[in-house]
């Protein structure tokens, strides 16, 4: 067949799962379940398999692949942005609570097998002991072939079709698994929530690949000026870098009596502070900030810390290493770490506020920034089923009705709600929690049940179905005792994870809906930051993007919060730079 032709897929039903194994420059394998319930497969030889995928996109398939990083990266690099997908690695993390998302782990978890070792390094005699001949993809023990996991399937497009068929079989087991999970919404829709979560988690994995490819726009002229002002001119040698570091340190030393000390050593800094009569148990910035107004020495020390962080983490070497020649900051994205939040390297998730002025697209383009408002308290109202808290979550500012219900001011109400989610019991938070127990007993019972599970090492699932594996710690927790630091630590983790994890699932569902709404618009998501989206768009399309973002939130909330009465809100603005967003 020619590269431009659309392959015929006998019996394929548009919109259904279509498994793919891509061999760049050589072809691809495909597998699908036909209308007569038979699993069919085919292989296509082509020097441009991405072009074949682009033609198949017209059928509207839900692509099934082992990992987005292993397949979608080639598609995105080739200009194809798939409409829908099922990412086996992302769903395996969700369904089985795994930290791994490689094909061997996804296959083993779906088939109730022990996790195999990662296919790193050379094959050993132990690896070969369970292998069949070169054409055998599944070992006698049920695990995937070590050689196939190392990529031997890519040597022949026919083997690629077999690899795709194995992916399809795994997808069907995963889908069956997530559909069996309970739907904890107050009003259950046509598709169970865990299944919808699997779809949005898959799309988040794809979005991560796109974010890594597209990068975040940086105005290098503005960034260079900020770095020069903060840490000094770009050093031309290690000697110049050392001299600049010494100059920054000297500014602090000049404010304190006595000999210079290593400012990067907390014990030395405590001694330095004692010289000016400040005795503190530690040198955390939040502890020192109250002294800054009356002590120029402390103010200088805190300013040094900001400059030092930028110099060591976001300085000239970072600028040269992570910002490409096209003035885009790129890092590696993870779709679900810990309780399920997206993560990113290259400082994308921790960029100092001082440098956000440099996050700006080129002339003729703008940023649409949308920040979910009070998302974790609203999620708590939805996932706990507390009708009183849900009533508060129908307001633009839910802390105002909470304050009225608690008989407190707004700041105290905010402390009370956050303390409830994070398990803080000391100080003002302890007193506020008593009022929370009285006013919102259902939400508090939900949080305490999660905490107790964490303390005892009992597995939990988030609202959307993510397994939080705690049972692996059960023996250690029993040995440590119920009042141990370890038990308290995992109790607090579980208490927060059931809220934070659900909030992460909601955020990714929203981001996936925004992505779908931007098709045909001159705009793309360029940053996902916990509860904040940045979309880069053409100036003429910015207001349309605002509408897409807001409609996507209403649409997502209608099924995610179904029956709870909770309303989701977002602060959306069109800005020239990230720093302009308020």
- Burial of 270 from C-beta contacts in 10 A (0-12 / 13-18 / 19+): middle
Please indicate, yes or no, whether residues 250 and 164 belong to a single structural domain of this protein. no
Is the Cβ–Cβ distance between 500 and 423 less than 8 Å? no
- The structural domain count of the chain equals 4
Beta-carbon contacts of 122 under 8 Å, excluding residues fewer than 6 positions away, are none
Query: What domain range is 253 assigned to?
Result: 220-320
| Whether the model pTM is above 0.85 | yes
Q: What angle do CA 459, 463, 466 make, to 5 degrees?
A: 50
Please indicate, yes or no, whether residues 306 and 281 belong to a single structural domain of this protein. yes
**Please, which contacts does 430-433 make with residues 24 or more away whose CB atoms are closer than 8 Å?**
432/406, 432/408
Domain of residue 427, CATH code: 1.10.150
In a domain, 188, yes or no: no
Please indicate, yes or no, whether residues 260 and 313 belong to a single structural domain of this protein. yes
In a domain, 50, yes or no: yes
In a domain, 42, yes or no: yes
In a domain, 329, yes or no: no
Beta-carbon contacts of 199 under 8 Å, excluding residues fewer than 6 positions away, are 84, 86, 512
Reduced to 3 states (helix: H, G, I; strand: E, B; else coil), residue 374 is coil
Six-digit token string for 97:
């609570």
CA–CA gap between residue 507 and residue 200 (Å, rounded): 9
CA–CA gap between residue 118 and residue 395 (Å, rounded): 49
Q: What is the pLDDT along the chain (582 residues), one digit of tens a residue?
A: 434 455 679 899 999 999 999 999 999 999 999 988 899 999 999 999 999 999 999 999 999 999 999 999 999 999 999 999 999 999 999 999 999 999 999 999 999 999 999 887 555 655 555 565 556 899 999 999 999 999 999 998 899 999 999 999 999 999 999 999 999 999 988 899 999 999 999 999 999 999 999 999 999 999 999 999 988 899 999 899 899 899 999 999 999 999 999 999 999 999 999 999 999 999 999 899 999 999 999 999 999 998 999 998 999 999 999 999 999 999 999 998 888 999 999 999 999 998 999 999 999 999 999 999 999 999 999 999 999 999 999 999 999 999 999 999 999 999 899 999 987 766 666 777 888 999 999 999 999 999 999 999 999 999 999 999 999 999 999 999 999 999 999 999 999 999 999 999 999 999 999 999 999 999 999 999 999 999 999 999 999 999 999 999 999 999 999 999 999 999 999 999 999 987
77 Cα distance to chain centroid = 21
CA–CA gap between residue 488 and residue 483 (Å, rounded): 7
The 3-state DSSP composition of the chain as helix, strand, coil percent (nearest 5) reads 55, 15, 35
In a domain, 189, yes or no: no
In a domain, 211, yes or no: no
CA–CA gap between residue 108 and residue 112 (Å, rounded): 6
Please indicate, yes or no, whether residues 275 and 363 belong to a single structural domain of this protein. no
Please indicate, yes or no, whether residues 300 and 341 belong to a single structural domain of this protein. no
Tens digit of each residue's pLDDT (9 = 90 or more) over 236-283: 998 998 998 999 999 999 999 999 999 999 999 999 999 999 999 999
The closest of 94, 118, 361 to 201, measured between CA atoms, is 94
C-alpha distances in angstroms, 446 versus 279, 462, 499, 515? 41, 12, 10, 33
In a domain, 12, yes or no: no
Please indicate, yes or no, whether residues 146 and 27 belong to a single structural domain of this protein. yes
Element (H, E) at 85: strand 84-87
CA–CA gap between residue 215 and residue 202 (Å, rounded): 20
Is the Cβ–Cβ distance between 502 and 463 less than 8 Å? yes
Number of H helices, E strands in the chain: 23, 15
Domain of residue 315, CATH code: 1.20.1060
- Burial of 212 from C-beta contacts in 10 A (0-12 / 13-18 / 19+): buried
């Amino acid at each position: 067949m020619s590269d431009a032709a659309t392959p015929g897929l006998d019996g394929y039903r548009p919109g259904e799962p279509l498994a793919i194994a891509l061999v760049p420059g050589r072809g691809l394998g495909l597998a699908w379940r036909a209308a007569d319930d038979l699993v069919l497969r085919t292989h296509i030889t082509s020097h441009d398999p991405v072009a074949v995928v682009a033609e198949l996109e017209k059928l509207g398939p839900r692509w099934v692949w082992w990992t987005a990083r292993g397949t979608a990266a080639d598609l995105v690099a080739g200009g194809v942005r798939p409409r829908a997908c099922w990412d086996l690695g992302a769903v395996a993390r969700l369904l089985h609570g795994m930290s791994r998302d490689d094909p061997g782990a996804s296959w083993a978890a779906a088939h109730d097998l022990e996790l195999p070792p990662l296919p790193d390094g050379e094959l050993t005699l132990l690896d070969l002991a369970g292998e069949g001949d070169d054409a055998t993809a599944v070992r006698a023990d049920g695990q995937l072939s070590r050689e196939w996991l190392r990529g031997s399937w890519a040597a022949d497009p026919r083997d690629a079709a077999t690899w795709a068929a194995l992916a399809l079989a795994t997808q069907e087991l995963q889908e069956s698994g997530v559909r069996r999970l309970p739907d904890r919404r107050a009003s259950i829709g046509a598709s169970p929530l865990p299944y919808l979560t699997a779809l949005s988690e898959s799309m988040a994995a794809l979005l991560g690949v796109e974010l890594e490819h597209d990068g975040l726009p940086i105005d290098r002229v503005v960034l260079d000026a900020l770095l020069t002002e903060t840490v000094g001119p770009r050093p031309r040698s290690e000697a110049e870098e050392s001299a600049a570091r010494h100059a920054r340190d000297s500014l602090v030393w000049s404010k304190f009596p006595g000999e210079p000390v290593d400012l990067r050593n907390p014990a030395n800094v405590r001694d330095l502070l004692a010289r000016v009569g400040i005795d503190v148990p530690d040198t955390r910035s939040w502890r020192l900030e109250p002294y800054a107004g009356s002590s120029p020495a402390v103010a200088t020390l805190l300013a040094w810390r900001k400059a030092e962080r930028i110099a060591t983490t976001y300085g000239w070497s970072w600028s040269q290493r992570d910002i490409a020649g096209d003035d885009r900051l790129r890092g590696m994205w993870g779709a679900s770490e810990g309780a399920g939040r997206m993560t990113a390297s290259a400082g994308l998730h921790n960029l100092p506020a001082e440098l956000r002025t440099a996050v700006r697209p080129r002339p003729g383009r703008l940023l649409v920034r949308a920040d979910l408002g009070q998302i974790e308290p609203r999620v708590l109202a939805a996932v706990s089923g507390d009708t009183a808290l849900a009533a508060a979550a129908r307001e633009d500012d839910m802390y105002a009705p909470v304050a009225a219900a608690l008989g407190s001011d707004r700041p105290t109400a905010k402390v009370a709600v956050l303390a409830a989610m994070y398990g803080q019991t000391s100080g003002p938070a302890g007193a506020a929690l008593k009022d929370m127990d009285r006013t919102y007993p259902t939400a508090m019972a939900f949080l305490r049940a999660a905490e107790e599970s964490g303390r005892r090492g009992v597995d939990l699932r988030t609202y959307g179905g993510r397994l939080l594996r705690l049972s692996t710690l059960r023996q250690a927790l029993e040995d440590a005792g119920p009042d141990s630091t370890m038990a308290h630590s995992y109790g607090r983790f579980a208490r927060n994870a059931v809220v934070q994890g659900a909030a992460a699932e909601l955020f990714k569902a929203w981001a996936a809906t925004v992505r779908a709404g931007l098709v045909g618009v001159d705009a793309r998501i360029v940053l996902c930051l916990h509860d904040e989206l940045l979309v880069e768009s053409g100036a003429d399309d910015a207001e349309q993007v605002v509408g897409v973002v807001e409609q996507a939130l209403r649409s997502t909330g209608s099924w995610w919060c179904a029956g709870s009465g909770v309303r989701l809100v977002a602060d959306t603005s069109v800005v020239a730079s990230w720093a302009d967003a308020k």
